């Protein structure tokens, strides 16, 4: 590896690595193919388009400049309209390095900077040499040092002493070289399990399996035989069977592809940590290296869907403000795609700085919350039965009552099971500096929130909750626009109100002990960080 190119890090406006032209060319392979084809048909048009594309690329490269100022990254770009983008350091949430195939061929990486208050990726450096990228990341995510912080009086020298065994930080890299400890590596076979049990796919697979169970032994073989000879006629029974077989195979194919996709995107998933950051490396074809400082993490969520819960498995996600991918995006905010229960909760606890091990003991919601869910199951079954009565049967006739009762019962029973599961999935715990809330039966999510990350507390009551004397406490944190805030669903109304008031008094208080916070050395600092203060 080359030594880091110091120019942009010293504040001199610098172009991207010239290899970016190759990266853009490879990324634009499709349009180039179109042009080549076009050249075969209309040579002049093809040549003209190619010229325009190449000229645009070169101009884009020539106009692009980036540099690092002490407190901001500055990017100038634009062919016709010149833009200057100033990304202030305290707004930066995460810095991700990404190497697609084209980057690997050319030996460069792409740097993506996510900042709070931005709709998408705030800053993108399409090609930077790896060493510079690494240094840049370290500087951008380094902890802001405050000369007036109390600990600096005597401690400035001392904490560094410990690091002195390591090589002296180079003058162009003011951030200390910190050791990255590998925490977990997910082996490929576990990723296969992750793919097979993940979300919708797992549910779909279970459904398919169920369908096969209920059908006669070899009906689909028969269907396949017909398929070889005839085009399916949807009006005949055989035709319907063939269509069902096709659908099942499409589902299985989709299932297989999604397992493969999971394995590829999470290949060699490695979770590592330093004193101040968490890092995730993953991906077979496109390699991602995402880094998020502890102090930018708003909440941690352990996700255990029904299938995984039965196997004692689950996943861990982090909520980071300003992450372009948002909550639901596969991969971007995953700390661990699959792991054993103890491991998941240990990671979650460590990330938020909560002592102990395993899933915390959660308080249950009041009985009325359970009644609410049972009533809901009853109503749902009633509605389905009524619909069957009206739509399928067409009239309410005494003759049909047994059938309708069967429909009612067969919807009610699973409904009640789900209701009971949903009730048991609910829980809350107030661990002083940390709040834990849990919800969900098909996908149980246990969320850990630090009180010093809370922005707004809100209790709300819909008409049904009001009937049952229940209320929801929303714990609003800085998070991406997409996705939802942690909440404690269906607390008792009085309790919700008292809990809200109790927590409100703690919102501003620094958390005593948490990773990346260096104990109580930075009282107010750790609290309001992660906030973008316009005009400051």
Partner 1 sequence: MDFSKTPAERPDGTEAEVFEAEPAPPPGAAGPRRLDPRVRSYWWVRGAIYTVVLGAAALMADMGWFVPRLVPGGWPEGVFGAVVVVVVLTLSVVGPLIAYERWRFALREEDLWIRRGILIRSVSVIPYRRLQFVDTEQGPIARIFGLAELVVHTAAPGTSGRVPGLDADEAEALRERLAHLEPSLDEPT
221-229, 242-250, 281-289, 459-467 -> range binding partner 1 (CB under 8 A): 459-467
Q: Which of 269, 294, 423, 499 binds partner 1 (CB under 8 A)?
A: 499
Cα(511)–Cα(93) distance, integer angstroms: 20
User: Which of 9, 478 has the CB closer to partner 1?
Assistant: 478
Q: Which residue has the tokens 């930018």?
A: 296
Query: Cβ atoms within 10 A of the Cβ of 143, count?
Result: 20
In the region spanning residues 125 to 154, those forming contacts with partner 1, defined by CB under 8 A, are 144, 146, 148
Copy the structure tokens of residue 281: 């490396």
Copy the structure tokens of residue 207: 């459904």
Q: How far is the CB of 197 from partner 1 (least distance, A)?
A: 31
Q: How many CA atoms lie within 13 A of 350 on its CB side?
A: 17
Q: Which residue has the tokens 């490879």?
A: 26
11-19, 77-85, 257-265, 523-531 -> range binding partner 1 (CB under 8 A): 523-531
133-141, 180-188, 354-362, 453-461 -> range binding partner 1 (CB under 8 A): 453-461
- 430 binding partner 1? (CB under 8 A): yes
Give the CA distances from residue 9 to residues 71, 91, 95, 146, 302, in Å, rounded to whole numbers and listed in that order.
Answer: 12, 18, 16, 21, 38
- 455 binding partner 1? (CB under 8 A): yes
Please give, one letter per residue, the 3-state secondary structure of 462-525: CHHHHHHCEEEEEEEECCCCCCCCCEEEEEEHHHHHHHHHHHHCCCCCCCCCCCCCCHHHCHHH
- 104 binding partner 1? (CB under 8 A): no
- 467 binding partner 1? (CB under 8 A): no
In the region spanning residues 311 to 350, those forming contacts with partner 1, defined by CB under 8 A, are 321
Cα(149)–Cα(159) distance, integer angstroms: 14
- 485 binding partner 1? (CB under 8 A): yes
Q: Which of 166, 233, 357, 501 binds partner 1 (CB under 8 A)?
A: 501
Alpha carbon 455 to chain centroid, angstroms: 21
User: Which of 22, 327 has the CB closer to partner 1?
Assistant: 327
- 223 binding partner 1? (CB under 8 A): no
Query: Cβ atoms within 10 A of the Cβ of 414, count?
Result: 11
Q: Which of 361, 432, 467, 520 binds partner 1 (CB under 8 A)?
A: 432
236-244, 304-312, 387-395, 480-488 -> range binding partner 1 (CB under 8 A): 480-488
Q: Positive or negative, the Cα torsion across 111, 114, 118, 120?
A: positive
Q: Are 170 and 10 in contact (CB under 8 A)?
A: no
Q: How far is the CB of 81 from partner 1 (least distance, A)?
A: 28
Q: How far is the CB of 496 from partner 1 (least distance, A)?
A: 9
- 209 binding partner 1? (CB under 8 A): no
Q: How far is the CB of 429 from partner 1 (least distance, A)?
A: 10
Give the CA distances from residue 358 to residues 199, 423, 451, 487, 499, in Å, rounded to whole numbers and listed in that order.
Answer: 23, 21, 20, 21, 24
4-12, 127-135, 234-242, 524-532 -> range binding partner 1 (CB under 8 A): 524-532
- Tell me the site size for partner 1, rule CB under 8 A: 54
Q: Are 213 and 365 in contact (CB under 8 A)?
A: no
Q: Are 129 and 147 in contact (CB under 8 A)?
A: no
Q: How far is the CB of 105 from partner 1 (least distance, A)?
A: 39
- 60 binding partner 1? (CB under 8 A): no
11-19, 165-173, 381-389, 522-530 -> range binding partner 1 (CB under 8 A): 522-530
43-51, 168-176, 203-211, 455-463 -> range binding partner 1 (CB under 8 A): 455-463
Q: Which of 495, 510, 515, 526 binds partner 1 (CB under 8 A)?
A: 495
Cα(296)–Cα(319) distance, integer angstroms: 9
Cα(265)–Cα(269) distance, integer angstroms: 9
- 203 binding partner 1? (CB under 8 A): no
Alpha carbon 337 to chain centroid, angstroms: 10
- 478 binding partner 1? (CB under 8 A): yes
Cα(198)–Cα(255) distance, integer angstroms: 10
Q: Looking at residue 358, what DSSP letter applies?
A: S
- 479 binding partner 1? (CB under 8 A): yes
In the region spanning residues 143 to 202, those forming contacts with partner 1, defined by CB under 8 A, are 144, 146, 148
- 86 binding partner 1? (CB under 8 A): no
Copy the structure tokens of residue 375: 């009533």
User: Which of 21, 473 has the CB closer to partner 1?
Assistant: 473
Cα(536)–Cα(325) distance, integer angstroms: 28
Copy the structure tokens of residue 282: 């993953």
Q: Which of 204, 461, 469, 521 binds partner 1 (CB under 8 A)?
A: 461
Q: How far is the CB of 152 from partner 1 (least distance, A)?
A: 12
In the region spanning residues 372 to 411, those forming contacts with partner 1, defined by CB under 8 A, are none
Q: Which residues bind partner 1 (CB under 8 A)?
A: 116, 144, 146, 148, 321, 363, 366, 430, 432, 454-463, 466, 476-481, 485, 491-492, 494-495, 497-509, 524-525, 527-528, 530-534, 536
């Amino acid at each position: 590896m080359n030594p880091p190119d110091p120019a942009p890090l010293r504040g001199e406006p610098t172009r991207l690595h010239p290899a970016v032209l190759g990266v853009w060319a490879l990324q634009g392979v499709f349009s180039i193919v179109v042009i080549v084809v076009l050249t075969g048909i209309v040579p002049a048009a093809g040549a003209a388009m190619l010229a325009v594309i190449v000229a645009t690329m070169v101009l884009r490269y020539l106009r692009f400049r980036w540099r690092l100022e002490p407190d901001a990254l500055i990017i100038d770009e634009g062919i016709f309209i010149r833009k200057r983008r100033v990304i202030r350091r305290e707004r930066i949430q995460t810095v991700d390095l990404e190497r697609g195939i084209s980057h690997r061929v050319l030996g460069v990486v792409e740097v993506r900077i996510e900042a709070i208050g931005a709709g998408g990726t705030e800053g993108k450096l399409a090609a930077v040499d790896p060493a510079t990228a690494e240094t840049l990341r370290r500087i951008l995510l380094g902890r802001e040092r405050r000369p007036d912080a109390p600990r600096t009086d005597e401690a400035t020298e001392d904490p560094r002493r410990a690091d002195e065994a390591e090589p002296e930080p180079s003058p162009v890299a003011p951030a200390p070289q910190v050791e990255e400890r590998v925490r977990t590596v997910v082996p490929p076979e576990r990723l296969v399990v992750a793919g097979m049990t993940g979300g919708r796919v797992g549910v779909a697979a279970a459904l398919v399996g169920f369908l096969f169970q209920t059908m006669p032994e070899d009906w689909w073989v028969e269907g396949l035989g017909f398929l070889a000879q005839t085009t399916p006629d949807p009006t005949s029974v055989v035709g319907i069977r063939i269509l069902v077989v096709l659908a099942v195979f499409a589902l299985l194919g989709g299932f297989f592809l999604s397992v493969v996709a999971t394995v590829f995107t999470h290949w060699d998933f490695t979770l590592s940590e330093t004193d101040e950051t968490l890092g995730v490396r993953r991906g077979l074809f496109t390699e991602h290296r995402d880094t998020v400082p502890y102090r930018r993490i708003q909440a941690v969520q352990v996700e255990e869907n029904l299938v995984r819960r039965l196997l004692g498995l689950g996943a861990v996600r982090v909520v980071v403000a300003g992450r372009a991918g948002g909550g639901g995006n596969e991969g971007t905010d995953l700390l661990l795609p699959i792991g054993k229960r103890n491991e998941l909760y240990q990671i979650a606890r460590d990330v938020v700085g909560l002592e102990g091990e395993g899933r915390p003991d959660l308080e249950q919601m009041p009985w009325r919350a359970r009644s609410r869910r049972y009533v809901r199951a009853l109503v749902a079954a009633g509605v389905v039965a009524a619909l069957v009565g009206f739509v399928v049967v067409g009239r309410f006739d005494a003759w049909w009552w047994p059938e309708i009762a069967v429909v009612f019962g067969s919807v009610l029973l699973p409904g009640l099971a789900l209701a009971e599961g949903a009730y048991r999935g609910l829980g809350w715990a107030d661990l002083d500096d940390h709040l834990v809330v849990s919800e969900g039966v098909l996908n149980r999510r246990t969320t850990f929130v630090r009180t010093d990350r809370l922005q707004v507390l809100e209790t709300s009551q819909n008409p049904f909750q009001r009937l049952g004397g229940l209320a929801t406490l929303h714990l609003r944190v800085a998070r991406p626009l997409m996705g939802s805030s942690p909440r404690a669903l269906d607390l008792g109304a009085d309790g919700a109100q008292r809990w809200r008031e109790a927590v409100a008094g703690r919102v501003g208080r620094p958390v005593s002990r948490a990773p990346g916070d260096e104990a109580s050395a930075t009282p107010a600092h750790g609290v309001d960080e992660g906030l973008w203060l316009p005009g400051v």
